[in-house]
Amino acid sequence: MSSKRRASKAEHLRRVLATEGDAVAENTQGFNQGRYDSVADLEDYEGLKEEAREIKEDAIERLPDLIENLREAVEANGGTLYLADDAEDANEYVREVVADVDGDRVVKSKSMTSEELELNEALAGDGVDVVETDLGEWVLQVADEAPSHIVAPAIHKSRESIAELFEERFDPDRELETAEDLTMFAREKLGEQIADADVGVTGANFVTADSGTVALVTSEGNARKTVTATDTHVAVAGVEKVIPSVEDLRPFVELIGRSGTGQDITSYLSLLTPPVGSPTLDFQTDEVGSPDDREFHLVLVDNGRMAMREDDDLRETLYCIRCSACSNSCANFQQVGGHAFGGETYSGGIATGWEAGVEGLDTAAEFNDLCTGCSRCVNACPVGIDIPWINTVVRDRANRSEHGGDLDWLVEGLTPDEEPAGVDLQKRLFGNFETLAKLGSAFAPLSNWVAGSSVAGAAMERVLGVDDRRDLPTFQRETLKSWAEGRPDVEDPDRAVVLFPDLYTNYMDVDRGKAAVRALEALGVDVTVADECASGRAPLSQGMVATAREKAERVADDLLPYVEAGKDVVVVEPSDHAIFQREYERLLDEDDHEAMAANSYEVFEYVYGLLENGASETSLAAGDGHEVAYHSHCQQRTLGVDTYTTAVLDRLGYDVATSDVECCGMAGSFGYKQEYYDVSIAVGEELADQFSTEETGDRQVVASGTSCLDQLDDLLDRPSTHPIELVAPEPHGRAE
């Protein structure tokens, strides 16, 4: 990416942050909290998610057969099923249906698929008046804007801006001020339009192959009116919406509202087996007619989906039920919304899969870097899609589709990777952080002085897009490995571990590595420091999958012999512990991944286990009521291992307050990138604010992740430290 493009991307993000950021943050964070609260009421949330996942896996596997079953059911009910190859084909069919009934007006309930098809534009081209009846969609239609959220499309608009819009467009005879005024005004306006409509177009959240039933999840009642008030019903849905049976709706019905906007259930779940059995309503003649006069067309759209079904990495996208949990749980999305974090139609984390499959790689690559791989969406997704992995794969594909640049030679020596020429220089720099760290450490402190100079800073920003406002990491001459070589053995140890010296701990934050070793030794553990320190996390986050795989294999070769010899693996950096647990499944063969995952522990997880098994807590530094503010790492939280840090700190007598933001916003290299600096800071400020209240403002700040510590150091006046440095004997960094 050229420095000019970076600057224009940064400018676009700043504009979205300034104009829409507050409304998007308030709404998405409300939905996200609602999700936590609502799923907590379920007796077996995880079981329901697994069931939902299994139904989708099975349905996509059997899709061609299910479509044929569905066709039989729809036709037996008296409707028609049309399978459209692409958007043009689908639009052509709907246009014919509308023309056949001499339709002048089409009313629509909310449908993302019809947005994907640009159906409104196609119908308008025939002179048909198309009216969106979902209030949010209607506001956008009036304002001529695009949705910023897949469930709540006008989430970026405030009540005031909607009132202004209505005043300007409709010159209403009464003042519209409250949300209720606005809603009643819209209901009235749209009620007239629906009464005069000829054709009703809906989407479908699910379609059951056994009965031909279309399930619509709504709250306003506009979908009900759209179907009831018109004689001709057209339902438009992607082929992936087909599930085997009515009974299979169960987990989705219980999960979709809770996962999305935090509602236990939405007001209406329409289970329509069309043509529906209600009388027709003719508002012009004021007469009701026979249900037999109703007509139904189901348009199932391929538009790239059947190819996604054959794609081992994109297939999971088809399990998506468009609930918006991945948007709402995403720290970056919470700040910028779908106008920045989205493509032609879809937005949020899963949009990368949809846009890559439906529109193409270029569209997905435009916004895909806003996924930092923090993984907070993974547990939120009701069908368990590995959304970060889809983002990583698409980034890899986008990297490989770029042409070689003129400046590749600049980073060539620093980038002994497995990637083809053409990968963005900035990505190659961050992806090859191992080489940089080794050189930086070997030449410290000189390398730190050079990197810290204003000349180097400006050059880094111009050529590589490393934001000059960020401090670069300070490399240490003495690495953790060289320090540990001189350590005496623990006599008669209770256990033996191999400590994985991640890049940050080995070359930069060496003190936290020393503290980890001292703490473990004090608890009777013999510690060996491993040779390999690059887990593959750095290249993986840049979409450099082949390079990450090569590193993962090196790490497994280094660590697994220790495991076979009965040693446990202890990891200080949460993102590296997480890659062993999660992403190595994609990078290593099954046995190696299982061995790595089963035998590696985040350092506080391990300390907790030692204390539970009889190690004496008096070997560690007592808290004596010392007040700390703790921020756990996003990936640590996804794995549920953040609780061990708070449990150990509690047990040692520390007084712990915790943050509840989804991510710190630094996310490895993300916050260093010039184009994303402002987004990173906006996310980080939410965390900084939580640690600057009356209750937390004087507490010592501790955090588990290197990135989190860097971000907190940049945003708070007081220093932050890894919690292991607090509890290790001979404590360092404890603010006495």
Residues 18-57 touching another protein, rule: CB under 8 A, are 41-44, 48
Region of 284-292, 456-464, 548-556, 662-670 interacting with another protein (CB under 8 A) = 284-292
Region of 224-232, 435-443, 453-461, 674-682 interacting with another protein (CB under 8 A) = 224-232
Tell me the closest approach of the beta carbon of residue 140 to another protein, in angstroms: 10
Tell me the closest approach of the beta carbon of residue 615 to another protein, in angstroms: 40
Dump the DSSP string for 195-246: HT-SEEEE--SEEETTTTEEEEEESSSHHHHHHHS-SEEEEEEEGGGEES-G
Complex with another protein: residue 192 or 650, whichever CB lies closer: 192
- Among residues 273, 295, 254, the alpha carbon closest in space to that of 214 is found at 273
Decide: is 247 part of the binding site for another protein (CB under 8 A).
yes
For residue 489, the Cα-to-chain-centroid distance in whole angstroms is 44
Decide: is 228 part of the binding site for another protein (CB under 8 A).
yes
Region of 8-16, 112-120, 248-256, 473-481 interacting with another protein (CB under 8 A) = 248-256
The binder of another protein chosen from 144, 171, 173, 286 (CB under 8 A): 286
342 DSSP assignment: B
CB atoms within 10 A of CB 88: 13
Decide: is 291 part of the binding site for another protein (CB under 8 A).
yes
Q: With the CA atoms of 211, 217, 219 and 225 taken in that order, what torsion angle do they form, in degrees rounded to the nearest 10?
A: -40
Q: Which residues touch 658 (CB under 8 Å, ≥6 apart)?
A: 629, 630, 631, 632, 646
- Residue 401 identity (one-letter amino acid): S
Complex with another protein: residue 48 or 588, whichever CB lies closer: 48
Is 407 in contact with 463 (CB distance < 8 Å)?
Answer: yes
- Among residues 186, 159, 158, 156, the alpha carbon closest in space to that of 170 is found at 186
The binder of another protein chosen from 246, 306, 459, 546 (CB under 8 A): 246
Q: What is the C-alpha separation between 603 and 645, in angstroms, rounded?
A: 9
Decide: is 287 part of the binding site for another protein (CB under 8 A).
yes
Complex with another protein: residue 38 or 704, whichever CB lies closer: 38
Tell me the closest approach of the beta carbon of residue 290 to another protein, in angstroms: 8
The binder of another protein chosen from 14, 62, 95, 159 (CB under 8 A): 159
Decide: is 268 part of the binding site for another protein (CB under 8 A).
yes
Q: What is the C-alpha separation between 502 and 381, in angstroms, rounded?
A: 30
Q: What is the C-alpha separation between 671 and 687, in angstroms, rounded?
A: 14
For another protein, the binding residues in 183-202 under the rule CB under 8 A are: 183-184, 186-187, 190-191, 195
Decide: is 75 part of the binding site for another protein (CB under 8 A).
no
For another protein, the binding residues in 599-618 under the rule CB under 8 A are: none
Complex with another protein: residue 85 or 287, whichever CB lies closer: 287
Beta strands 600-602; 568-571: pairing state = parallel
Complex with another protein: residue 219 or 643, whichever CB lies closer: 219
Site string for another protein, 317-346 (x = CB under 8 A): ------------------------------
Decide: is 245 part of the binding site for another protein (CB under 8 A).
yes
The binder of another protein chosen from 148, 208, 327, 599 (CB under 8 A): 208
The binder of another protein chosen from 53, 224, 428, 582 (CB under 8 A): 224
Largest Cα–Cα distance of the chain, in whole Å? 96
Complex with another protein: residue 253 or 466, whichever CB lies closer: 253
Q: Which residues touch 616 (CB under 8 Å, ≥6 apart)?
A: 523
Site string for another protein, 349-378 (x = CB under 8 A): ------------------------------
Decide: is 210 part of the binding site for another protein (CB under 8 A).
yes
Complex with another protein: residue 34 or 457, whichever CB lies closer: 34
For another protein, the binding residues in 500-559 under the rule CB under 8 A are: none
Percentage helix, strand, coil for the chain under 3-state DSSP, each rounded to 5: 55, 10, 35
Decide: is 266 part of the binding site for another protein (CB under 8 A).
yes
What are the CA-CA distances from residue 574 to residues 502, 668, 704, 712, 722 (Å)?
Answer: 10, 11, 7, 16, 11
Q: What is the C-alpha separation between 498 and 530, in angstroms, rounded?
A: 6
Q: What is the C-alpha separation between 653 and 636, in angstroms, rounded?
A: 23
Is 675 in contact with 384 (CB distance < 8 Å)?
Answer: no
Tell me the closest approach of the beta carbon of residue 191 to another protein, in angstroms: 7
Preceding omega of 488 cis (within 30 degrees of 0): no
Tell me the closest approach of the beta carbon of residue 99 to another protein, in angstroms: 25
Decide: is 65 part of the binding site for another protein (CB under 8 A).
no
The binder of another protein chosen from 1, 67, 143, 271 (CB under 8 A): 271
Complex with another protein: residue 347 or 479, whichever CB lies closer: 347
Per the listing, tokens 């012999």 go with: 561
For another protein, the binding residues in 166-185 under the rule CB under 8 A are: 178-180, 182-184
Decide: is 256 part of the binding site for another protein (CB under 8 A).
no
> Residue 287 has which token pair?
């007469």
Decide: is 133 part of the binding site for another protein (CB under 8 A).
yes
Decide: is 77 part of the binding site for another protein (CB under 8 A).
yes
For residue 163, the Cα-to-chain-centroid distance in whole angstroms is 32
Helix/strand number for the chain, H first, E second: 37, 20
519 DSSP assignment: H
- Among residues 606, 60, 84, 661, the alpha carbon closest in space to that of 320 is found at 60
The binder of another protein chosen from 142, 146, 265, 597 (CB under 8 A): 265
Region of 269-277, 401-409, 488-496, 560-568 interacting with another protein (CB under 8 A) = 269-277
Complex with another protein: residue 150 or 709, whichever CB lies closer: 150
> Residue 339 has which token pair?
């106008």
Is 59 in contact with 243 (CB distance < 8 Å)?
Answer: yes
Complex with another protein: residue 71 or 537, whichever CB lies closer: 71
Q: What is the C-alpha separation between 114 and 170, in angstroms, rounded?
A: 27
Region of 210-218, 574-582, 662-670, 680-688 interacting with another protein (CB under 8 A) = 210-218
Tell me the closest approach of the beta carbon of residue 324 to another protein, in angstroms: 13
Decide: is 152 part of the binding site for another protein (CB under 8 A).
yes
How many residues bind another protein, per CB under 8 A?
Answer: 75
Region of 243-251, 492-500, 566-574, 680-688 interacting with another protein (CB under 8 A) = 243-251
